Amino acid sequence: MKADKVFIGVDSGTQGTKVVLFSMKQQRIVASAYAPHELIADNSGRREQEPRWWIDAAQTAIKSALQLVLGISDEVVAIGVSGQQHGMVPLDSQGHVIRPAKLWCDTETASQCEELTQILGGEKRVMELIGNPIAAGFTASKILWLKQNEPGHYERLSTVLLPHDYLNYWLTGNKVAEFGDASGTAYFDVRQRQWCPEVLNAIDPSGKLLGCVPELIESHAPAGWMRQELAAQFGLGPDIIVSSGGGDNMMGAIGTGNVSPGTVTLSLGTSGTIYSCADAPIIDPGGECAAFCSSTGQWLPLICTMNVTVSTELTRSLLSLDIDQLNRLASLAPPGAEGVVLIPFFNGERTPNLPNAQASWTGLTSSNFVPANLCRAALEGPTFGLRYGMEILNRQGIRAREIRLIGGGAKSPLWRQIVADVFGCPVVCPVSEEAGAMGAVLQSMWCYFHQNNDPVSIELLCKQWIALDESSRVYPSDQSEQYQQLYQDYVKRVNHLYR
């Protein structure tokens, strides 16, 4: 019997792959490692990556993490994968990647979204079929784009996987999908938790795509067991369970303890997300709230904005600042940045649904056009966009008693305070900054215990292993009332530009 049980969490995101090793005996993450990804991008809205890059990064990070703790390889029992949602990984009949994966942030397929919606009978009919609109970024439009623009590649298409499904395929040799990540494809019925033949046949009336989607499995079920040759490469033993895994938002929910109704998680990452757990499907008639399934057997109503740390990174680069310098300058500017407002739609926008929108600096004068105001506006603009998303969740009956904040932006005390003031709600971070990887750890733990005849609940595992960092907690300040008016002004500017 193993002296310890160690679980590996892999978080494969847009910018890179993070791997953590969690020891049950030591009750903590004992090692972590990171490897970056490249990005293929152009001004047409194309955002792509070679799936091989994800594998290379995962191999590098797993090996690096295992090397940090002597003897830990013998204690590993399971691995879970969190992956960026919505990406299209096209495979041929031999399981080889046909072309680079189009990513969640790819807006090149906006016209295919509109075309597919019309083929299916309009937005109302689409909502009836799948519970979600066909949004730019979702997988369905990417497949239609492939069929229309690269017919030779489409002819070879045998399987369509999402990014985390592809990593599970590399780990196990099995082509499977779980409900949470699958619900972000726009060809999955979130009410019935099954693929939607009507959408697949609308993309290709021949029926071919019905045979290109993988088998669906429950969230607590294993995707399989790690291939023996791969386990040997990592120095691991046999019978390493690979859990079903899930999309980054679904794993982030688990990693913040957001596995029962009433909790709200907000991510300040490359993109921004705000979501809550639900015990039944929550379908937004307006289609602005994504009616996702969770990776815990429940549902995860979610709002996504396309540009959060994108804004701060571009502003930082423009002004030749490091992160600390940007935050220091932003702290010198007052709320509202003396009238400077950033509409942060650098990658188009999903909420509101403006895939072809562009970013704008507004309110500039000869006196307020200074670095401090630009830095402050780069924090405030994305936060206002997320507040708009919270109002959509409010209309679905979801209220935030407390916001659990994750993502790179959550490390900034100033940004945490701005979030608390804009939302009028307490904000706190989990102790572990690696919500996606920690979510993958806990889901793999859940799967491991189920496979060993111990059906412990995911809620109990989260209660046991997810802790909040009370030193990060902030409450709305006396500036919160001012921010309510600044938010309304922001909404008016967006409506003036795009409505």
- In sequence order, which residues have a C-beta less than 8 Å from that of residue 423 and are 6 or more positions away? 387, 390, 400, 403, 476
Active site residues: 248
Map residue 240 onto helix, strand or coil: coil
Cα distances (Å, whole numbers) of residue 476 to 73, 420, 473: 45, 5, 10
Neighbours of 81 (CB within 10 A): 33
Cα 471 from Cα 337, distance rounded (Å):
27
Cα 199 from Cα 190, distance rounded (Å):
13
Does residue 207 come out as left (phi exceeding 0), alpha (psi in the -120 to 50 range) or beta? left
CA angle 221, 159, 34 (to 5 degrees): 65
Tell how far CA 90 is from the center of its chain.
20
Nearest to 403 by CA among 304, 305, 280, 276: 276
Name beta bridge partners: 178.
217
> Is residue 223 within 8 Å of residue 179, measured between CB atoms?
no
Cis peptide before 238 (omega within 30 of 0): no
Cα 170 from Cα 480, distance rounded (Å):
48
Nearest to 292 by CA among 284, 281, 279: 281
Cα 357 from Cα 109, distance rounded (Å):
14
Cα 489 from Cα 239, distance rounded (Å):
57
Does residue 235 come out as left (phi exceeding 0), alpha (psi in the -120 to 50 range) or beta? left
Map residue 117 onto helix, strand or coil: helix
Q: How many residues does the structure list for the chain? A: 499
Q: And the tokens for 499?
A: 């409505």
Name beta bridge partners: 36.
16
Neighbours of 470 (CB within 10 A): 9
Nearest to 223 by CA among 177, 267, 263: 177
